[in-house]
Amino acid sequence: MYKMIIADDEPSTRQGIRTAVNWSLLDIEIVAEAANGTETLDLVRTLDPDILICDIRMPKMDGMTLAGILRHEKPSLQILFLSGYSDKEYLKTAIRLSAVDYLYKPFEIDELVAAIKKAKASLGNRASLPRPVPDNDLALQLLDSRSAQALVQSGHLPLDTRGPFVSLVIRIKSGDGLLQQSSAQHQEPFDLSLMAHHYADSLHKAAALTWGSAFVLSLVGNGFVLHANRLPGRRSQDNLSRLQGLLRAFDPIYDRVAIGVSNQADHIADIKRAFTEARKAAQAAFLTGYGQIIPFSAVSSQPFVPRLEFAEPFGLALEQGRAAEATGLLKDYLRYMKSCTPDHIPQIKDALAQIAMSINSRLSRRTGTQTSFVTDMVLASADINDIGQYILDMAVRYQEEASRLSSTGRVVFDAERFILDHIEDKDLSIRKIAEHVFVTPTYLSYIYKKRTGNTINHFILDTRMKRARDLILETNLQLGEISSRLGYTNQNYFTKTFTRYFGVNPSTYRNQAL
């Protein structure tokens, strides 16, 4: 039978839904009822229902926020919204969240039954998919101490129960990025559970090449949980190299996959702890990026502390048309966020949502229009790089709108954009920039100095040095490659320039950041 939860803060509504239909004839079992959003979230996570009937306006957590969380935790969950209000914005959000239906109270029983049948049909399509391995739940059962003990005693585990063990959590990145989400709200959702099913067999084969039969694998929502015996007599780095085959099992989407790897678990009772470590490492992909294997030992423990001093200079730079400065401030903040613990991802998303809302509010004042669901887009994203690019694009749009009011402002804005886009061009010059913005070099130098207080050459140097810093910190490129990429024909000159700008030479700067 299909499992269903009813969530509504009105007891009469819950009772009416429960008693108005003979649910057993529809192959439906009502497994729980909830009166608020947080209770519903806990019940869904615990009972793993197939269908959720959910009121829009509930205490503690509204239905839309709840659905946004569940859409990423449990993509196959069929959600039916109820509302006593005819609200266009709610309806648009319901469409974006791929709700099975949206019923206005009071609704007819026939409408409710039709919606439930629609949900069952969608679930039926998923149910026809093959299970990836015969013992699909063994990896999950090992997370419960009683079940783990029973499995050990039964002798049915393919693992050497004497240990040691390692746990992996394999996570597929949701969505195609914020830019696509914001421009295609009515497209079919990217179904991660179907994607996971698609790659289950190739992952199982890759795991068999690594561990033989000494592993258990479970498909869980949009990813996998795997426990195995740790490969004997190998250094940790060698073990991580061996796991690259698991990433290749997801070709051609391996760059959307992250594999979190636990520390060694010596006893079977330690597997739950190992799973927690692996899950945290996989979650860190939001900050460190996908397409890689992330050992728990490499996960940052640095707490995230919101930079209260960020908002004022960032907003001022936006208002005064200093696009490069605003971009630099945001990139610095993002770099700091990426260095923090994944435990604080919710707080990091909140901080980014506030930045996005601030820019959106400024855009609204300029244009008279406002982008809907800015906060939803940020909070639902699985990659900080997507959020960063989304906010940067919003900032650029604001600068473009602001610059329309001033022809000289537009020239300065376009000049800075050209420099940012061509900073790696060794032939970059004031003359070339002036040609791009259709003014003379002398006039460009004059209006740039007048509006910004700095020279164009100072801006070019500033941009090159910050790009050099990024390449030094975020890549393994040799210094000669970096200097050449940034248009320097002489590495010694680049080194001297970098040293004057930052106070230390490039090699020392890189080593200090390790």
pLDDT reported for residue 6: 93
User: Which of helix, strand or coil describes residue 197?
Assistant: helix
Transcribe 79-121 into DSSP letters: EEEEESS--HHHHHHHHHTT-SEEEESS--HHHHHHHHHHHHH
Residue 112 has pLDDT above 70, yes or no: yes
**For residue 46, what are the contacts with CB-CB under 8 A and spacing of at least 6?**
none
Could you read off the pLDDT of 198-245 as tens digits, one per residue? Answer: 788 889 999 999 898 899 998 876 789 999 988 765 556 656 778 888
Percent of the chain at pLDDT > 70 equals 84
Spatial separation of the C-alpha atoms in residues 499 and 508, rounded to whole Å: 10
Which helix (DSSP H) or strand (DSSP E) does residue 193 occupy? helix 192-211
- Using an 8 Å Cβ cutoff, are 174 and 188 in contact? no
Ordered by where they begin, the domains of the chain are 2-127 (3.40.50.2300), 138-298 (3.30.70.270), 300-402 (no CATH), 406-514 (1.10.10.60)
DSSP lists the bridge partners of residue 168 as 226, 261
Q: What is the pLDDT of residue 2?
A: 87
What the block records as the tokens of 49 is: 């229902």
Residue with tokens 């406002």: 370
CA–CA separation, 161 and 181 (whole Å): 46
Residues listed for the chain: 514
Tokens 């694998």 belong to which residue?
Answer: 217
Q: Which helix (H) or strand (E) holds 292?
A: strand 292-295
pLDDT (average), residues 401-416: 71
Average pLDDT value for the chain: 82
Contacts 24+ apart (CB under 8 A), 307-315: 307/333, 307/336, 310/355, 311/354, 311/355, 311/358, 314/355, 315/358, 315/362
- pLDDT of 29 > 80? The answer is yes
| Alpha-carbon distances of 451 from 170, 320, 456, rounded to whole Å | 51, 9, 11
How far apart CA 147 and CA 391 sit, in angstroms, is 47
Both tokens of 119, joined, read 């949900």
Mean pLDDT in residue range 333-361: 90
User: For the segment 467-490, what is each residue's pLDDT rounded down to a tens digit?
Assistant: 899 888 878 889 999 999 898 889
**Residue pLDDT, tens place only, 410-443:** 788 788 889 988 888 888 999 999 999 888 899 8
CB contact burial 271-299 (16+ within 10 A = b; e otherwise)? beebbebbbbbbbbbbbbbbebbbbbeeb
The pLDDT of residue 239: 67
In the structure encoding, which two tokens stand for residue 500, read together? 């004057």
Q: Which two tokens stand for residue 434?
A: 């002036």
Q: Around Cβ 138, how many Cβ atoms within 10 Å?
A: 22
| pLDDT grade for 322, boundaries at 50, 70 and 90 | confident
More confident residue, 310 or 198: 310
For 223-268, give the DSSP string: EEEEEEEPPTT--HHHHHHHTHHHHHTTTTSGGGEEEEEPPPB-SG
Strand partners, 226: 168, 217
Report pLDDT for 132: 41
Please check the confidence at residue 5 and state whether its pLDDT lies above 90: yes
From 148-157, 292-301, 403-412, the region with the lowest mean pLDDT: 403-412
Nearest to 285 by CA among 325, 335, 345, 227: 345
Q: How far is CA 371 from CA 65, 126, 136, 137, 359, in A?
A: 18, 34, 43, 43, 10
pLDDT-derived band at 24, boundaries 50, 70, 90: confident
Reply yes or no on whether the pLDDT at 37 is more than 70.
yes
| Reported confidence tier of residue 130, pLDDT bands at 50, 70, 90 | very low
Find the mean pLDDT for residues 118-127: 74
Check residue 424 and give its pLDDT. Answer: 85
Q: CB-side exposure of 248: number of CA atoms within 13 Å?
A: 10
* Res 185 pLDDT > 60: no
pLDDT (0 to 100) of residue 134? 36
How far apart are alpha carbons 151 and 128 in whole angstroms?
A: 28
Q: What is the pLDDT of residue 182?
A: 39
Q: Which of 127-131, 238-242, 275-279, 311-315 has the lowest mean pLDDT?
A: 127-131
d(CA 175, CA 167): 26
Residue 164 · residue 236 · CB < 8 Å: no
Region of 270 on the Ramachandran plot (φ > 0 left; ψ -120 to 50 alpha; else beta): alpha
- In angstroms, the CA 129 to CA 115 distance is 23
Name the more confident of 456 and 183: 456
Instruction: Report the pLDDT averaged over residues 344-352.
Output: 90
Position 98 scores a pLDDT of 61
| DSSP codes joined into one string, 373-410 | THHHHHHH-S-HHHHHHHHHHHHHHHHHHHHTT-HHHH
The helix or strand, by DSSP H or E, that contains position 207, with its residue range, turns out to be helix 192-211
Q: Give mean pLDDT, residues 379-392.
A: 86
pLDDT of the residue at 72? 63
Read off the pLDDT of each residue in 116-140 and give the average, rounded to a whole number. Answer: 65
Distance, CA of 503 to CA of 496 (rounded, Å): 10
pLDDT at 511: 79
Predicted confidence (pLDDT) at residue 165 exceeds the cutoff of 70: yes
Q: Is the pLDDT of residue 175 over 70?
A: no
Alpha carbon distance 169, 163 (integer Å): 19
Supply the pLDDT for residue 292.
Answer: 94
Encoded tokens for 283: 């979650």
Q: What percent of the chain has pLDDT over 90?
A: 27
Rg (CA), the chain: 27
Q: Which of 32, 98, 33, 35 is nearest to 64 (CA)?
A: 98
How crowded is residue 344: how many other Cβ atoms within 10 Å of its Cβ? 19
